[in-house]
Amino acid sequence: MTSTASVQDRQAHAADLLRNAGVLPVITVHTLDEARAIADALLEGGLNTLELTLRTPVAIDALAMLKRERPDIVIGAGTILNAENIRASTDAGADFLVTPGTPAALADALVDASIPAVPGAATPTEFMALRERGFRNCKLFPASAVGGLAMLKGLAGPLHDMRFCPTGGISESNAAEFLAQPNVLCIGGSWMLDKAWIAAGDWARVRETAARAAQIVREVRTA
């Protein structure tokens, strides 16, 4: 069993990764070429950290490829559902792990993982269970559906030592408001990856929207 101290160390690392990201683009890729093009557009726009979801057959290969070919990118493996996903993502070189939700067996597997984890949850009870295992940095998902800003403000009192990456329903129009919450380390979203732009290969639009997202982070943090 992994020691409590090592969980705390990995949670501190997770906090640093999320804080440095500010905005965490959530991407789903269908080919290796698509993965390269999306990653390059995000990097050029100023976003160097992403969550690559394990929702397609090519996802693990894409993760490994990007870690080899684009060493400046920090990659979280997303949609982690079980211990096998953890092993495959770690072997592929993922920098951290992200789950959409975290039942007890998965939470225990994340405690034993060798890389930082950002477990997902949607209710105070779930966050309290994660907190008991040593997790202090979690994903609020689906953020808008479970209360959004009101939920984050409500969690701030009783769970004052926890920090969040709200994901789900966040857009360019409300990104700054979420980022301004004291218990938010970063925000996750895919508004800079419109499916029509991806289908058309309009990487300039992706790059421009990523640049605006990076600017929102800078403006909020220097306000």
* pLDDT tens profile 53-86: 999 999 999 999 999 999 999 999 999 999 999 9
For the stretch 149-202, pLDDT in tens is 999 999 999 999 999 999 999 999 999 999 999 999 999 999 999 999 999 999
The structural domains of the chain, ordered by start, are 4-217 (3.20.20.70)
Please give the Cα distance from 10 to 120 (Å, whole number): 16
Is this prediction's pTM over 0.85?
yes
Instruction: Report the pLDDT value the prediction gives residue 87, as an integer from 0 to 100.
Output: 98
Q: Give the number of other Cβ atoms within 10 Å of residue 178's Cβ.
A: 28
Please give the Cα distance from 169 to 161 (Å, whole number): 25
- Options 34, 51, 153, 195, the catalytic residue: 51
Active site residue 195: no
Active site residue 172: no
Query: Is 70 exceeded by the pLDDT of residue 1?
Result: no
Instruction: Report the pLDDT value the prediction gives residue 5, as an integer from 0 to 100.
Output: 56
Mean model confidence pLDDT for the chain? 96
Please give the Cα distance from 168 to 192 (Å, whole number): 13
Q: In what order do the strands lie in the sheet with 96-98?
A: 117-118, 96-98, 74-78, 49-53, 23-27, 187-189
How buried is 42 (Cβ within 10 angstroms: 0-12 exposed, 13-18 middle, 19+ buried)?
buried
- Options 69, 126, 139, 208, the catalytic residue: 139
